[in-house]
Amino acid sequence: MSRWSHWSLRRTLLAVLLPGLLLVMGLELAAGWRNALAAANTAFDRSLLGAIKSMDANISTTGGGLAVELPYQMLEFFELTASGQVFYRVASGDGLVEIGNAGLPGPPHALADRAPQFYDANYFGVPVRVGAWQRPLDRELSQGSHSDRVIVQVAETLESRQDFTRRLVWESVARDTLLLATALALVALAVYGALRPLSRLRAEVARRASDDLTPIATDRVPKDVAPLVEAINLHMQRYGRAMAQQRQFIDDASHQLRTPLTTLATQVGYALRVHDDATHTLAAIKTELDAAIRQTNQMLALARADAQELHAGPLDLMALAETVARRLWPLARQQGLDLGLEPLAEGGPVRAWGDAGLLEQALANLVHNALQHVPRGGQVTVQAGVRGGMALLCVRDDGPGLSAADRACAGQRFVRLGTDNTQGSGLGLSIAQAIVQRHGGYLQLDDATPGAASPGLAVVLAWPLSASPSVAEASG
C-alpha cells in the first residue's frame, strides 16, 4: 500500500476495478462453458432417451430369440437432428446376443433397470455420446443366451452438441463483453464524476492570491472530502492569526521603538557638540536606553504570549506566586512598598494546569505594574488559589485604583492607564490578558476595597482547572 500511496486516486481506482472486472468475466466464461455443456448434454440426452425408448418398444422375443423391428424413419430423423452418425446396439444382458453395431462401448457403471445412463466414449476413433438402457425381458430367451435382461444402446457423434455448445459460449462471451464494456464505461464515468469536485477545488485554490486565507466552501465537495477541507480551513485560520500577530508586532515595533531611538540619536548628537560635563546627558541617555530595553522586552514578551507554543502541565499556584514575589521584593523595597503573599482561601487545593513559564510572566507583569503605580508606603498582595473550578492568580493593592473609563481600555496595547506620570510601555495588562486567554481564561479588574477613598485595584487571572494543552491551544 505504501507504493500505491504515491498514485493518483484515478489510477488507484482503475488499477483495482479493472483487474477485478476481468477476473469476474473470466469466472463468468468458465461458468458459462460448464452451463452450456450441461444444457447441451441435457437437451441431446433427452433425444437419445427418446430413440432408446422407441427402439425398446419394438423389441420382440416371441420366436424364442431376440428380435427388433427398427423404426427407420425415427432413426433417420434422429440422425438428421444429431447432424452426424448414429449407432445402436440391442443385446442380451450377458452380451451373447446382440443386434446392431457390435462393439459399442458399454456403460462405465452397472445399469439399473429402467434407469438410463449417459456417457462419453470413443467408437473406432470417433468421439460419441452414448445412452444405455436396461429392462427385464418378458420371457427368457431360448436361443443363444439365458439372460433375462435386454440392453439398448444408442450413440451419436458430437458435432451437433459441440456446435450448440460453441454457440452458447460465444453468446455468453458477447454478453459478458458487452457487460464488461458497459461496466468499464460506468466505472470511468463514476471515477471522473467523483474526482471532478477535487479537480475544481484544486483549480480554485491555485487561482487564489497568496494572501487570500478566506475559508474554502464545503457545500460543493463530497461529504468524504469535507473533513479534509474543514481541516485546511482551520489551518488557514491559524496561519491567518499567526500572520496577523506578526504584522501587529511589526507595526508595534516600528511605532514604539522609533521615538526612543530618535531621542537617543538627538541626545548623542548633543553630547558630541557640547564639550562641558556630559554627566547629565549620559544620565538622560541611560534613562532612554532603559525605557527602550524595557519596551523591547515587553514587546517580545507580548509576541511570545501571542504565538509561543504552550507547554502546559500540572503546577503549584502558591509556588508560582512565591517565585514571582521573591523576584520582585528588591524592587518593592526600593519603591518603599510592602509586598506580601497569601492564599486566596484557607485550605483547599492549589494545584492547577497550565504553562508555568507564561503564567509566571503574566503574574510578574501585574505585580510590576502595581509596584510602579502604588504610592510609597502602600501595600501590594499576591494571592493564589482555586475557587469554583477556576484557577486564580490575583494582585491586590491599596493604590488609587482605576476609573471606569480606564477599565474599559484595560488590555489594549500601548495604552497607559491612570493619571500618574509613571513611565511604562502600556503592555503589562496586554501581556497578562493574552497569556490567560491562551489558557481559555480571562482577566478581570475590580476594586480591592470597594467604597474606600483609595479603593485600590484587584487584577485577577482566572482559567479553567481542566484546561489541557489541546484546549488551551484551540483557545489561542
> Distance between CA 51 and CA 66 in Å, rounded?
19
Tens of pLDDT, residue by residue over 186-229, are: 877 887 777 777 778 878 888 877 777 788 887 777 777 788 88
pLDDT at residue 463 in the model = 93
DSSP state of 391: E
> Distance between CA 150 and CA 68 in Å, rounded?
11
The neighbouring-strand residues paired with 130 are 119, 155
pLDDT at 33 over 60: yes
Tens of pLDDT, residue by residue over 78-123, are: 555 556 788 889 998 888 888 888 889 999 999 999 999 999 999 9
Tens of pLDDT, residue by residue over 385-421, are: 998 888 999 999 988 877 666 655 554 554 454 545 4
The set of cell numbers assigned to 390 is 477556576
pTM of the model: 0.46
Instruction: Note every long-range contact of 339-343, with CB atoms under 8 Å and residues 24 or more positions apart, other chains counting.
Output: 339/367, 339/371, 339/380, 339/381, 339/382, 340/379, 340/380, 340/381, 340/382, 341/381, 341/382, 341/383, 342/381, 342/382, 342/383, 343/318, 343/383, 343/384, 343/385
| Nearest to 317, CA basis, from 352, 342, 280 | 352
456 or 191: which leads in pLDDT: 456
Return the residue matching grid coordinates 484557607. 346
DSSP state of 58: T
Tens of pLDDT, residue by residue over 233-274, are: 888 888 777 777 666 666 666 556 666 666 666 766 766 666
Please check whether residue 337 is in contact with residue 380, taking contact to mean a CB–CB distance below 8 angstroms: yes
The set of cell numbers assigned to 417 is 492607564
Q: Is 269 helix (H, G, I), strand (E, B) or coil?
A: helix
